[in-house]
Structure 1
């Protein structure tokens, strides 16, 4: 099995891991009621998707 010749420094490790990070969730506002929702999802508050009522919410 291959073994590294030298120890990987902290700086080299951190440079490699700069792109390994969490991204925030993308949120938009509902065009019907203004609630914050994920894109391409039915609004849980009013039940609308693309200006049409898809689910009836009581």
Structure 2
């Protein structure tokens, strides 16, 4: 079994964990409606995806 020979410092532990954080969600402004939406997702306000009507438009959102 692998056992560390010496204790890792708090600095090195922090450097190793530097990439473990959660990334913030990305939002883009929709070109047609101006609403914020996730990239590669359906615009729920207009119901469109890549210029095609996929869902019925919703007014309650």
TM-score, structure 1 as length reference:
0.76
Equivalent residue, structure 2, for 1:42: 42
Q: Structure 2: which 5+ runs fail to align?
A: none
Following TM superposition, where does structure 1 have runs of at least 4 consecutive aligned residues deviating by more than 4 angstroms? none
Deviation at 1:56? Answer: 1.1
The two structures, once aligned, show a CA RMSD in angstroms of 1.6
